[in-house]
Every structure is written in C-alpha cells, then in structure tokens.
C-alpha cells in the first residue's frame, strides 16, 4: 500500500511520540530497579526506532521526488 507524503509524515509523528513514550517508561523502570521491564521496554523502543528511520528515509525520498 502506497502512502502519500502527508500520510507518512503523520505516521512519523505518531511513531516519534511512541518512541519517546517507550524510552520514558524504560527510564522509569530502570529507576525503579526493574531490570527485566527496562530491557523489555528498551527492546520495544529499538524496534520503533528502526521504524522511525525507515519512515524518515521514505519521506526523504518522496520529498526529493516532489521537490
């Protein structure tokens, strides 16, 4: 399914928010001393971070084509 530039930018915004939230939860879990929860949340944040990179690359491609 092909997404338009505005759709990709909206998704990137949601992914950015999610990435920040996951990292914040991981930080809190670490401060609480819950290493297992910290590692789990960090792993999820890494997956979401990869998606952020993929979206950023796709957006850059579309901006070059449209620009």
Every domain of the chain and the residues it spans: 5-66
Give the pLDDT confidence score for residue 54 in this predicted structure. 95
DSSP 34: -
**pLDDT < 70: residue spans in the chain:** 1, 67
Q: Are 45 and 19 in contact (CB under 8 A)?
A: yes
Distance CA 66, CA 47 (A): 29
How distant, in Å, are the alpha carbons of 16, 31, 39, 40, 65 from that of 50? Answer: 11, 25, 17, 16, 23
Average pLDDT, the chain: 93
| pTM, full prediction | 0.83
Q: Please report the pLDDT score of residue 1 as a whole number.
A: 63
3-state secondary structure of 57: helix
């Amino acid at each position: 399914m092909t997404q338009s530039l505005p759709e990709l930018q909206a998704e990137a915004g949601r992914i950015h928010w999610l990435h920040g939230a996951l990292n914040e939860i991981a930080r809190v879990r670490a401060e609480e001393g819950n290493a297992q929860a910290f590692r789990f949340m960090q792993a999820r944040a890494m997956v979401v971070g990869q998606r952020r990179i993929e979206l950023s690359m796709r957006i850059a491609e579309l901006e070059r084509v449209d620009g």
